[in-house]
Amino acid sequence: MEKVNENNISAVLFDVDGTLVDTERDGHRIAFNAAFTELGLTWHWNVELYGELLKITGGKERIRYYLEKYVPDEIKTNNLENWITDLHMIKTRHFVALLKSGQIPLRPGVARLIKELRNAKIKIAIATTTTPENVTTLLKSTLGEESPAWFDVIAAGDIVPQKKPAPDIYLWVLERLGLPPKQCIAVEDSECGLKASLAAGINTVITVSNYTVLQNFNGAAITLSDLGESSKPFTILTGDAYGSRWVDIQLLNKLNSR
């Protein structure tokens, strides 16, 4: 008889960019600029401009938005969608190389919490807008070759028609987990991601990142600096951690059973 899970959470759904790793400013942005250079484009997304472009989720969607808003009519091609897809594939190649170089570490508490969840037989999943190859490369380069297999579901990129803030990616994960939203909890870094997880009915822990710290996190179960470690506890930005100083299963259960 399978041991009844006395925890009230059965799964934790992790966002990737800004949550597992702080990838936007010094990862994706650098990869986009390297792709522009490789194609002989004079474009350069500086930190400030990229922060503005981040309101569009999805790299291909972000490129399209930039073309339309900042450099309309600059690209003369009879198939813009293919051109964007090709540019984005070059960008992904540069981003994957950055990940493999080990220059992008996991955020505080991520490896510890994943280990705790696995030991407690609580399911773990990924719900991200980023490209699937980025996820597997990130997991392998930070948690080891076997780590993608630890996740019960990995949902990424174009697998759903509508990216965050639409709930599609979270609904896709819930369906494959075969779990109701109330038995799950999500970990996100952005207002856009929070809108997606809340629209799917999932309580959500926010760990802010450098681009999202000033965003609106109304509706989050708690807003933190990061997941925390016993050696480096988190800072609480909003909400009650019931005396906990890092995110563990006990705190997740309390947050999800309020």
- By annotation, the residues acting in catalysis are 15, 17
Please report how close the Cβ of residue 32 comes to ligand XBP at its closest, in angstroms: 8
* C-beta of residue 114 within 8 angstroms of C-beta of residue 150: yes
Output the CA torsion 150→153→156→162 (10° steps): -160
Among 11, 12, 28, 212, binds ligand XBP (CB under 6 A): 28
256 interacts with ligand XBP by CB under 6 A = no
Q: Cβ of residue 239: shortest distance to ligand XBP, in angstroms?
A: 21
Q: Which 157-186 positions form the footprint of ligand XBP (CB under 6 A)?
A: 164
Closest by CA to 120, choosing from 32, 248, 22, 17, is 248
CB of 7 to ligand XBP, least distance (A): 25
State the nearest-atom distance from the C-beta of 142 to ligand XBP, in Å. Answer: 14
* Binding residue (CB under 6 A) for ligand XBP from 21, 22, 50, 57: 57
Instruction: Classify residue 26 by burial, with Cβ atoms within 10 Å: 0-12, 13-18, 19+.
Output: middle
Residues 131-190 that bind Mg ion (CB under 5 A): 189-190
> Nearest to residue 186, comparing CAs of 241, 128, 108?
128
Q: Is 167 left (phi over 0), alpha (psi -120 to 50) or beta?
A: alpha
Give the HSE-up count for residue 163: Cα atoms under 13 Å, Cβ half-sphere.
18
**What does 59 bind: ligand XBP, Mg ion, none (CB cut-off 5 to 8 Å by kind)?**
ligand XBP
Residues in touch with ligand XBP (CB under 6 A): 15-18, 24, 28, 57-59, 128-131, 134, 164, 193
Residues in touch with Mg ion (CB under 5 A): 15, 17-18, 189-190, 193
